[in-house]
């Protein structure tokens, strides 16, 4: 009997951002996200209070999926970060930090929400048009002909996930492998307008050193040990390829599940249905043998009698492949997955592999299917090793993200400077541009000039606070007053910052690190520029100035050390500001508590 319960009226909250409880939760979330950001981010352990699985992570996707809040505003922020991550894989924490600090700074500036919203929108447009512009100083064009910047990009993504606990050498190794795997999935030679990228199949292996990770062209298939021992004896290892391959997606176990539910009545005298099916299977085997198939694969179970028959005729039989491998095999070998055993196999359903060999990776022995020469295959396998499961999972997700970022680069071959430099540059640009056109812009938007300047300051502070969030060790973040890049002094080396006047430019010269956050500006005085650099603290007001681009020839100029995906960060910036605007515009909350 259906239970009918009375609906209770909803709970309403008026003007939620003015409630201290809501603000406390928002601050907490900001602190959580802030402290997880960047390569030095602090890891978070998540477990529920009755025990069970413990998750150690600092990546936004795992963190926020596990993070449950009953506060509707936080739910909304959470959802928009996760939606962004699901599309672009990268910059999830960036969205969260920028959005929450915008909310914080707007609240501190005491602007009316509607004014703050239109200001944020205006400044966002300023930023996006600057980023799209050719002369943008934050952009670096990626030369797809050389691996250098691709590796830098992949490395930056991987090192921004400290949960995978990699050393510098390991980061370099994994970064290189990721780019290698990525390049294998890009088809070459085709000039048609649509390009179909291949795929990287990941095989995870626990307990091995990270440096044992490797990339193989083709596919690695897990098979039982018994089979591997017999492979050496079979003819497949004796003669050179290519080999013909048949692939089945239907179960060849001989049961009658395909007929659906219901009872089957067999009149006496009629043949046993199972015998009929087995007969058909053997007929299939005969056809396969006659067509000189060397490898016989099935997604599901193969009847032992059929297996025995095929082995006897020297065919390599692999069963229980699982659905995940079917698509890569189809792509690599050109075979078609056959879904019925009642009809004879059409000749074009067969695929090809160039060869088969046995690979030993750590403790596991895997069967390696080599891709055929023609057409060039775009399938590769990456064996990812790490010492324990938690770190391995983090590493896997980091690699997947890096791969996605690389793919995004293919469409739009530009990257943004990392290490906080893009944010400081954008902030300096907005501050300069905004201040110079404050008069016109404020009147066209219908806000007063002081409101305009307050909104501008809040926006720039929020951008800078993303750069500030990269530091977790109590160091000092600086901005230089020429190129507007971000510099970072580790704690203990900087003088007491509390006693400084607001703008003190000269005295940082000795303590500043040799290069800026992204690595393209160097501290040494450049003779061609005729002047040294001046610095100021990042989180204080400084006079607006035009960031000058770096000059100098391309060969001698230092290469950026840290790069971020342009596409992901561009979207992240928009998502962050729009989410902040959404939150600021909310006047009332109605919670259905049924």
Partner 1 sequence: MQMQPECLRLDSVLQTVSVLEAVVQRSFGPDGGQVLFTRDTGQTLLTRHGTRILTALRLDHPLVRMVVECVRKHSDVTGDGSKTFILLLASLLREIRKHNGKAPKNVAGAKWLGEALLAFGLDELSNVISVGVASHATYLSDTCNPTHTDTRTVVKTDTGTLRRLLGSFLHTRISPTHVEVISQLTCELLCRWSFQGSFVNEHFPSLHTAVSGFPTGCSRLLEGQVIHADFSTPLPVHNRGQIKALTVTEHLEPSGTSGGMESVCARSGQRLDSVCAVLHQLGVSLLLSSVTQSEATLAAARRNGVGVLECVPEDDLSLFCLLSGSQPITDWATIRFVHLGFPKAEGKVQPHSLVVCGLTEGQTEQSVDAIRDALLMLHTAWQPTHRPTATDETPHTDRQTDASTDTCTGQVGPGCVISIGGTFEFLLHHALQLFPHANKHTRSHSDTPDVSRMLAEALLSVPRRIYSHSSRQYLAAHSHALSKVLDGCSSGCSLGVESVSCKYQLILAVLQCLRNILEHTVSFITSFLSCITEEVMPNPNVYLVSHSLTSY
445 binds partner 1 (CB under 8 A): no
C-alpha pair distances (Å), 277 with each of 280, 281, 298, 313: 5, 6, 17, 21
346 binds partner 1 (CB under 8 A): yes
Nearer to partner 1, 397 or 477 (CB): 397
Cα-to-chain-centroid distance, residue 413 = 17
Which of 87, 148, 229, 312 binds partner 1 (CB under 8 A)? It is: 87
Is residue 414 within 8 A of residue 142, CB to CB? The reply is: yes
Which of 241, 273, 362, 495 binds partner 1 (CB under 8 A)? It is: 273
Which of 1, 4, 9, 499 binds partner 1 (CB under 8 A)? It is: 9
Structure-block tokens of residue 407: 């793919």
Nearer to partner 1, 5 or 556 (CB): 5
Which of 32, 46, 76, 227 binds partner 1 (CB under 8 A)? It is: 76
| Burial class of residue 168, CB neighbours in 10 A (0-12, 13-18, 19+) | exposed
338 binds partner 1 (CB under 8 A): yes
C-alpha pair distances (Å), 139 with each of 55, 112, 425, 518, 567: 36, 34, 11, 12, 11
The span from the CA of 125 to the CA of 118, in Å, is 11
What is the contact mask toward partner 1 in residues 174 to 213, using x (rule: CB under 8 A)? Answer: ------------------x-x-x-----------------
417 binds partner 1 (CB under 8 A): no
Q: Which one, of 277, 251, 245, lies nearest residue 347 by Cα? A: 245
472 binds partner 1 (CB under 8 A): no
Is residue 216 within 8 A of residue 381, CB to CB? The reply is: yes
Phi, psi angle pair for 413, to nearest 5°: -75, 60
Nearer to partner 1, 343 or 510 (CB): 343
Nearer to partner 1, 86 or 448 (CB): 86
Q: Smallest distance, Å, CB 21 to partner 1? A: 16
282 binds partner 1 (CB under 8 A): no
The span from the CA of 409 to the CA of 399, in Å, is 15
316 binds partner 1 (CB under 8 A): no
Cα-to-chain-centroid distance, residue 344 = 44
Q: Which of residues 559-588 bind partner 1 (CB under 8 A)?
A: 571, 574-575, 578-579, 581-582, 585-588
Ramachandran area for residue 235 (φ above 0: left; ψ -120 to 50: alpha; else beta): alpha
Which one of the spans 3-11, 22-30, 198-206, 518-526 is the region binding partner 1 (CB under 8 A)?
A: 3-11
591 binds partner 1 (CB under 8 A): yes
Q: Which one, of 354, 356, 348, lies nearest residue 317 by Cα? A: 356
Question: Which residues partner with 531 through β-bridges?
Answer: 526
Q: Smallest distance, Å, CB 465 to partner 1? A: 21
Which one of the spans 9-17, 157-165, 216-224, 391-399 is the region binding partner 1 (CB under 8 A)?
A: 9-17
Give the Cα-Cα-Cα angle 173, 179, 185 (nearest 5 degrees): 135
Nearer to partner 1, 14 or 553 (CB): 14
253 binds partner 1 (CB under 8 A): no
Which of 8, 146, 290, 360 binds partner 1 (CB under 8 A)? It is: 8
3-state secondary structure of 349: helix
10 binds partner 1 (CB under 8 A): yes
Q: Smallest distance, Å, CB 173 to partner 1? A: 32
444 binds partner 1 (CB under 8 A): no
The span from the CA of 286 to the CA of 290, in Å, is 6
Which of 340, 491, 497, 559 binds partner 1 (CB under 8 A)? It is: 340
Q: Smallest distance, Å, CB 296 to partner 1? A: 17
What one-character DSSP code corresponds to residue 371? P
Q: Which one, of 188, 206, 205, lies nearest residue 197 by Cα? A: 188
Q: Smallest distance, Å, CB 122 to partner 1? A: 10
Q: Smallest distance, Å, CB 282 to partner 1? A: 14
413 binds partner 1 (CB under 8 A): no
Ramachandran area for residue 437 (φ above 0: left; ψ -120 to 50: alpha; else beta): alpha
The span from the CA of 399 to the CA of 405, in Å, is 10
Nearer to partner 1, 208 or 571 (CB): 571
Within 10 Å of residue 550's Cβ, how many Cβ atoms? 16
Three-class HEC string of 409-452: HHHCCEEEECCCHHHHHHHHHHHHHHHHCHHHHHHHHCCCHHHH
Nearer to partner 1, 424 or 462 (CB): 462
Which one of the spans 83-91, 390-398, 424-432, 484-492 is the region binding partner 1 (CB under 8 A)?
A: 83-91
What is the contact mask toward partner 1 in residues 12 to 31, using x (rule: CB under 8 A)? Answer: x-x-x---------------
Strands 214-217 and 199-206: unpaired
Q: Smallest distance, Å, CB 191 to partner 1? A: 13
Q: Smallest distance, Å, CB 441 to partner 1? A: 16
The span from the CA of 29 to the CA of 31, in Å, is 5
Nearer to partner 1, 46 or 349 (CB): 349
280 binds partner 1 (CB under 8 A): yes
The span from the CA of 592 to the CA of 594, in Å, is 6
Q: How many residues bind partner 1 (CB under 8 A)?
A: 65
Which of 3, 7, 53, 239 binds partner 1 (CB under 8 A)? It is: 7
Structure-block tokens of residue 544: 């607006």
Q: Which of residues 112-171 bind partner 1 (CB under 8 A)?
A: 113-114, 117-118, 121
Phi, psi angle pair for 370, to nearest 5°: -85, 140
Binding site for partner 1 (CB under 8 A): 7-10, 12, 14, 16, 72-73, 75-76, 79-80, 83-84, 86-88, 113-114, 117-118, 121, 192, 194, 196, 249-250, 259-260, 262, 264, 266, 270-271, 273, 276, 280, 336-340, 342-343, 346, 348-349, 571, 574-575, 578-579, 581-582, 585-594
């Amino acid at each position: 009997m259906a239970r009918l319960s009375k609906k209770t009226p909803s709970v309403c909250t008026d003007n939620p951002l003015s409630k201290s409880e809501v603000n406390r939760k928002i601050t907490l979330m900001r602190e959580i996200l802030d402290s997880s950001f960047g390569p030095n981010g602090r890891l978070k352990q998540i477990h529920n209070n009755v025990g069970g699985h413990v998750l150690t992570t600092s990546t936004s996707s795992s963190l926020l999926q596990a993070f449950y809040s009953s506060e509707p505003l936080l739910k909304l922020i959470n959802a928009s970060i996760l939606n962004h991550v699901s599309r672009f894989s990268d910059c999830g924490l960036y969205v969260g930090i920028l959005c929450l600090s915008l909310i914080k700074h707007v609240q501190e500036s005491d602007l009316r929400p509607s004014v703050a919203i239109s200001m944020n929108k205006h400044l966002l447009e300023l930023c996006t048009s600057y980023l799209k512009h050719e002369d943008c100083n934050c952009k670096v064009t990626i030369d797809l002909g050389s691996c250098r910047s691709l590796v830098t990009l992949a490395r930056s993504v991987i090192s921004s996930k400290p949960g995978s606990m990699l050393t510098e050498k390991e980061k370099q190794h994994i970064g290189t492998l990721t780019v290698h795997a990525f390049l294998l999935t890009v088809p070459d030679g085709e000039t048609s307008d649509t390009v179909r990228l291949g795929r990287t199949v990941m095989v995870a292996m626990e307990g091995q050193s990270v440096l044992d990770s490797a990339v193989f062209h083709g596919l690695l298939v897990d098979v039982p040990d018994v089979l591997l021992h017999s492979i050496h004896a079979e003819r497949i290892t004796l003669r050179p390829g290519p080999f013909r391959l048949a692939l089945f997606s239907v179960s060849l176990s001989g049961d009658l599940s395909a007929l659906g539910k219901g009872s089957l009545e067999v009149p006496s005298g009629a043949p046993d249905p199972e015998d009929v099916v087995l007969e058909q299977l053997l007929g299939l085997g005969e056809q396969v043998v006659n067509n000189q198939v060397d490898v016989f694969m099935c997604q599901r179970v193969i009847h032992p009698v059929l297996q025995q028959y095929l082995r006897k005729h020297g065919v390599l039989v692999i069963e229980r492949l699982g659905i995940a491998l079917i698509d890569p095999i189809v792509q690599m070998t050109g075979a078609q997955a056959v879904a019925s055993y009642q009809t004879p196999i059409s000749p074009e359903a067969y695929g090809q592999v160039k060869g088969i060999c046995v690979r030993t990776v750590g403790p596991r022995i895997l069967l390696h299917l080599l891709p055929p020469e023609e057409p060039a295959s775009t399938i590769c396998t990456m064996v990812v090793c790490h010492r324990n499961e938690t770190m391995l999972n983090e590493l896997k997700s980091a690699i997947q993200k890096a791969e996605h970022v690389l793919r995004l680069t293919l469409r739009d071959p530009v990257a943004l400077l990392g290490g906080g430099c893009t944010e400081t540059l954008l902030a300096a640009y907005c501050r300069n541009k905004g201040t110079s056109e404050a008069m016109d812009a404020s009147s066209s938007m219908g806000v007063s000039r002081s409101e305009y300047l307050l909104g501008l300051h809040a926006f720039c502070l929020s951008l800078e606070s993303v750069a500030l969030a990269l530091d977790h060790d109590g160091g000092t973040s600086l901005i230089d007053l020429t190129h507007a890049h971000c510099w970072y002094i580790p704690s203990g080396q900087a003088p007491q910052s509390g006693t400084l006047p607001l703008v003190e430019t000269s005295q940082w010269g000795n303590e500043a690190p040799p290069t800026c956050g992204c690595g393209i500006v160097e501290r040494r005085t450049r003779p061609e520029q005729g002047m040294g650099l001046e610095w100021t603290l990042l989180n204080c007001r400084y006079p607006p100035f035009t960031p000058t681009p770096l000059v100098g020839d391309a060969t001698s100029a230092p290469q950026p050390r840290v790069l971020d995906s342009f596409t992901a960060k561009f979207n992240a910036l928009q998502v962050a500001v729009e989410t902040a605007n959404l939150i600021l515009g909310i006047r009332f909350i109605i919670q259905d508590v049924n």
